[in-house]
């Protein structure tokens, strides 16, 4: 009888913790081991069929600086970072098109409320469908998370991603001015400097328009093909980013998948991936001030952790 009572109490505690979403790292971590995360990240890496080939992207990183000089705001690179991008072959793909369609939906300065139209909601849903349900990479991520008990159906998975990534919260003055997607993929301006901004496509498009000036880089990953990782210094229309790390040459679905994998399984912690046999650490942060659903936390940030 006592044993049965203990089991009932443990089950009740477990259900209570699960209802809190991602707020209990001990429970989250117990579901998935580091080796399992590394294994599924290798699978996602292998399945990224929409990543750029060496002929589709040519970059010119130019000056490498030590971490001690990243705050100096010195423009040490006379040329743009992106020497060539084959837009016709890359940006015509459904996942890239769906991603780019989202980038003009945001007010970049925090403290300015975001207004989300029905068309923009449709763009969010299309992006999640194209990147997750319509790619082998996205199906692999769902299959893994489903097998570990995070989601029981595609509908549940996609709805949670929609809230996690596109749900609005306030970074400044109580205004509903931010979301995980805006912060990480599009970038924001907060307290007179660039905040977030960890995507190569966004970087390239702004650099092409003359709105972004690449200064230098303080980290270059060990990968000899794409995806690679850079930690960059740049000025975005008058606002400086001291270290903006991004996965270079990856597809939108790959970025979304690895950031989601890490946020769901290692919220607010360092997440250790393996890509092509080499380690990549992703740092995630939870938004702790407001929640959605049954106490789940919005994603505040996620990016490649560079030394």
Q: Examine the residue annotation and report whether 241 is marked as an active-site residue of this protein.
A: yes
- Compute the distance between CA of residue 116 and CA of residue 182 in angstroms, rounded to an integer: 12
Residue 102 contacts residue 123 (beta carbons within 8 Å) = yes
- Which residue in 51, 183, 217, 297 is the catalytic one? 183
**Which neighbouring-strand residues pair with 149?**
none
3-state secondary structure of 280: strand
- Compute the distance between CA of residue 139 and CA of residue 150 in angstroms, rounded to an integer: 14
Q: Which two tokens stand for residue 234?
A: 């740049």
- Which residue in 51, 241, 296, 297 is the catalytic one? 241
Helix segments in the chain, DSSP class H? 2-18, 25-31, 34-46, 87-90, 94-100, 118-128, 136-147, 154-166, 180-181, 200-208, 252-265
Q: Examine the residue annotation and report whether 217 is marked as an active-site residue of this protein.
A: no
Q: Examine the residue annotation and report whether 133 is marked as an active-site residue of this protein.
A: no
Residue 254 contacts residue 227 (beta carbons within 8 Å) = yes
- Compute the distance between CA of residue 152 and CA of residue 146 in angstroms, rounded to an integer: 6
Residue 296 contacts residue 163 (beta carbons within 8 Å) = yes
- Compute the distance between CA of residue 232 and CA of residue 141 in angstroms, rounded to an integer: 29
- State the catalytic residues: 183, 198, 241
């Amino acid at each position: 009888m006592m044993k049965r009572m203990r089991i009932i109490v443990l089950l009740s505690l477990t259900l209570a913790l699960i209802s809190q979403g991602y707020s209990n790292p001990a429970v989250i971590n117990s579901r998935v081991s580091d080796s399992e995360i590394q294994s599924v990240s290798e699978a996602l890496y292998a399945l990224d069929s929409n990543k750029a080939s060496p002929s589709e992207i040519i970059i010119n990183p130019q000056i490498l600086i030590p971490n001690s000089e990243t705050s100096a705001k010195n423009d040490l690179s006379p040329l743009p970072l992106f020497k060539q991008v084959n837009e016709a072959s890359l940006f015509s793909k459904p996942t890239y098109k769906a991603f780019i369609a989202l980038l003009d939906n945001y007010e970049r300065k925090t403290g300015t409320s975001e207004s989300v139209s029905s068309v923009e909601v449709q763009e969010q849903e299309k992006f999640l469908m194209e990147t997750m349900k319509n790619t082998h990479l996205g199906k692999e991520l769902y299959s893994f998370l489903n097998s570990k008990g995070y989601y029981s159906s595609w509908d549940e998975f996609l709805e949670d991603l929609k809230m996690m990534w596109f749900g609005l919260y306030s970074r400044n003055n109580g205004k509903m001015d931010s979301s995980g997607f805006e912060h990480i993929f599009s970038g924001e301006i907060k307290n007179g400097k660039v905040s977030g901004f960890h995507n190569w496509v966004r970087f390239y498009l702004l650099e092409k328009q003359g709105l972004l000036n690449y200064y230098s880089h303080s980290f270059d990953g060990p990968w000899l093909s794409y995806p690679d990782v850079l930690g960059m210094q740049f000025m975005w229309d008058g606002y400086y980013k001291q270290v903006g790390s991004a996965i270079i040459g990856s597809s939108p679905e790959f970025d979304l998948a690895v950031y989601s994998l890490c946020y769901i399984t290692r919220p607010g912690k360092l997440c250790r991936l393996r890509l092509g046999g080499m380690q990549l650490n992703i740092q995630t942060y939870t938004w702790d001030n407001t929640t959605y659903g049954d106490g789940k936390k919005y994603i505040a940030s996620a990016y490649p952790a560079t030394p």
